[in-house]
Amino acid sequence: MAEKERHIRPLSAQSQGMAAGNNRLAGRKILIVGGGQRIHDAATDPVGNGRAMALLCAREGARVAVADRVLDSARETTAQIEAQGGDAFAIKADVAKPDDVANMVEQATKRLGGLDGMVLNVGIANPPLGLANMDIDKWERTLAVNLSGPMLCCKEGLRYLDDDASIVFISSIAALKAGSRLPAYDASKAGLGGLMRHVALEGSARGIRANIICPGLVDTPIGRAASAGRKSRSKTPIPFGRMATAWEIAYAALFFLSDDSVYITAQTLAVDAGLSGL
C-alpha cells in the first residue's frame, strides 16, 4: 500500500504575522535581546525569530527595546515597529561582553521607564560537526554567547526587573534530543534549562517568572543558512509537514510574557510540531 501523503498544517493569520493585536501587553516594557536579524538572502529572507517577537510585542501594546550585536539590524527592526505605529528603540550589545550587557539592561530600563519583560534570543552554532572536529576555542565561544550571555542578562536583569516580570529564554530542541551534530550548541542550549530554573527560583520571591521555549525547525534566515550547509536538515520529516514560521515562535513567547501564563514558571515548551516527542 502506498504511503499516504503527509498532511501540511495550514498557515493561520498568526502563522503569517497577519493577525491584529489584542493589547495583551498594553503598557508593558519589554527588552528583546537578539531582536535584529541575520541575512542569508536579502531578497527572499523570511522574518527571523527575534524580529518577529519584537514586532509582535509592539503590536500587542508594549514599548520595546531591541538589542542586537549588529546595531543596524536592531534599527531595522525598530523602523518596522515604528512603521506599524509602535514605540521602540535600538541598543547595540554583545551578550558575551559583561559591560555591554550591563549597559544594555540599564539603558533599556531608563528609556522604557522600567522593565517587566525580557526575551533572551541569542545563539550561535559554530561548526564544524562532531566531537572529533571540536576545538576548545569554538567550544568556549559558543558557550560564551549561548549560555554565559543569558546568565549575564539575568544577573543584570534581576537588579532592574519590576516585580511580577517575565523572562523568556529561547533555546532549541537540540537541548532535548540529539541530532544537530553540534556538541557545543547542544550543550549550551541544554544548559539554559538549569539556568532558567535557577532564575525562576530566585525570581519567585518577587513574582518574577522564567520559562524556556525550544523551537524545532523554523524557516528563518539562520535556518535557511543551516539547511544550505547541512542538506539533511531540510529533509527532516516533520509531523505537521512543514517548518515553523518565526511568528509561531513569537506567539509562544507572547504567551509567556503575557498574563495568559501568570501562574506558569520554570517550564519548558517545545514549539516543534512534536519533533521532540513523537
Place of cell 540529539: 178
Q: What local confidence, expressed as pLDDT, does residue 4 receive?
A: 64
* Cβ burial 233-267 (10 Å sphere, 16+ → b, else e): beeeebebebbbbbbbbbbbbbbbbbeebeeebbe
Q: How confident is the model at residue 1 (pLDDT cuts 50, 70, 90)?
A: very low
Q: Which 3 state secondary structure label does DSSP give 37? A: coil
Over 80: is that where the pLDDT of 133 sits? yes
Q: Which 3 state secondary structure label does DSSP give 210? A: strand
Which candidate in 160, 185, 251, 263 is catalytic? 185
Q: How confident is the model at residue 199 (pLDDT cuts 50, 70, 90)?
A: very high
> What are 204-247's pLDDT values in tens digits?
999 999 999 999 999 999 888 877 766 667 678 899 999 999 99
Over 90: is that where the pLDDT of 5 sits? no
Mean pLDDT of the chain: 94
The residue that leads in pLDDT, 128 or 245, is 245
* Domains along the chain with CATH numbers: 29-271 (3.40.50.720)
Q: Give the C-alpha distances (Å, rounded to integers) separating 10 from 32, 95, 245.
A: 28, 36, 11
User: Does residue 263 have an active-site annotation?
Assistant: no
> What are 7-66's pLDDT values in tens digits?
899 999 999 999 999 999 999 999 999 999 999 998 999 999 999 999 999 999 999 999
Q: How confident is the model at residue 3 (pLDDT cuts 50, 70, 90)?
A: low
